[in-house]
Structure 1
Amino acid sequence: MKEEITLRKATEQDLDRIVEMLADDVLGSKRECYQHPLPSSYTEAFKAITSDPNNELIVACYANEVIGVQQITFTPYITHQGGWRATIEGVRTSSSVRGKGVGTKLIEWAIQRAKARGCHLIQLTTDKKRDDALRFYEHLGFSATHEGLKMKL
C-alpha cells in the first residue's frame, strides 16, 4: 500500500461502508442486513455509540476509502481496584486489503488508546469458528486466558 493508512472516528457518512464490511464474511452475512437504505437500527446504534464518551467507532482509511473498522468500549469495574478495561468489538477489514496490515494497525491503535485512557486491561472476543482471527490476535499478544460465554436474547 503506497499511501499511509489513517485512522479516525467514524462519521455517519461511513455507516453504509461499515455495515458492508460487517456483512462481508460467512458469519456476518448471516446476521447483518446490508441493504439500501440501511435499516434504521444501524443509524440508531451509530448515534448511541458516538454520543457515549466511553465508546469510539474507529475507521481505517486508505486514499479516502474506508477499509477497516473497530469499536472500542471503555468500562469501569469494581474489580482490579476499580480499574478500567477496554473492549474491542466489531473488527473488520475490507476483503480487498486483508493481510496487508490494516487489522494490525487498528488493534495497535486500540491498545495505545486504552493505555492513554488509563485502562489496566484490553480484551476482545472472537468467534470460535474464526481460526485465522484467533491466530491473528494471539500474534499481537492476546492470550485466551478466560472462557467466554454468551447468551442470545
Structure 2
Amino acid sequence: MKFRKATIKDIPTIIKMISDDALASKREYFTTTLPKTYYDAFERIDSDSNQELTVVIDDKDEVVGVFQMTFIPYLTYQGGIRAQMEGVRVHKGHRNQGIGKSIFQWAIQRTKERKAHLLQLTTDKKRPDAIRFYESLGFKPSHEGMKMHF
C-alpha cells in the first residue's frame, strides 16, 4: 500500500468513492462526465499549501482510498496548528482489510511532521460503525459539533 498526492486524473475515482455511501449519495453527483465544480474544487485544494488530498494505492496501482487533510494555523495553543481529516473513504471492494487503519496511522505521522498539536475529525452521528472505528484508534468525542448549511 502506497500513499501519494492526488492528481486531477484521480478525481473520477475519488468522487465515485465519496458518493458510494448512503449519506453522501444524497449530496454528491457521480456520472461518467463529472460536473466542472469537482475539478474547480480540486484546483483550489491543489494550490493551497495547507490542503493535502491523498490517495491510497494498492499493489495493482489502483486507487483504493482517499482522504483530505487541512492544516489550520490559529492563535490559540500559542499559535498552534490543528490538522483536520475530511472525506475519508475506502473503496467498497477493499473494506475490512486494514486500509482505514493504515490511513490514520499515516495521517497521524503526517500531523506530527507538520508540527500540528492535534488531529481532529467530524463524523455524522448516523455513522455508528465509523464512530466506533475512530474511537478504537484513540479519538475521543470531546466536543459537540454544530453546522449551519446554506
TM-score, normalisation: structure 1: 0.96
2:105 counterpart of 1:98: no
2:78 counterpart of 1:81: yes
Partner of 1:109: 106
Partner of 1:143: 140
Partner of 1:59: 55
2:36 counterpart of 1:34: no
Query: Aligned-residue CA RMSD in angstroms?
Result: 0.6
Partner of 2:8: 12
Partner of 1:45: 41
**Which residue, 112, 116, 120 being the options, matches 1:119?**
116
**4+ runs deviating over 4 angstroms:** none
**Count of residue pairs the alignment pairs up:** 149
Structure 1: runs of 5 or more not aligned: none
Following superposition, the deviation at residue 77 of structure 1 comes to: 1.1
Measured in 1, the distance between the counterparts of 2:86 and 2:8 equals 18
Which whole-Å deviations, capped at 9, do the CAs of 1:116-136 have from their partners, x for residues lacking one? 000011100000000110011
Measured in 1, the distance between the counterparts of 2:116 and 2:36 equals 33
Structure 2: runs of 5 or more not aligned: none
Amino acid at match of 1:24: D
Measured in 2, the distance between the counterparts of 1:48 and 1:108 equals 26
2:21 counterpart of 1:25: yes
Between the aligned residues of both structures, percent identity stands at 53
Amino acid at match of 1:124: L
TM-score, normalisation: structure 2: 0.98
Measured in 1, the distance between the counterparts of 2:27 and 2:62 equals 24
Measured in 2, the distance between the counterparts of 1:67 and 1:103 equals 10
Which whole-Å deviations, capped at 9, do the CAs of 1:71-120 have from their partners, x for residues lacking one? 00001111111100000000000011111111111111111101000001
Amino acid at match of 2:12: D
Following superposition, the deviation at residue 36 of structure 1 comes to: 2.1
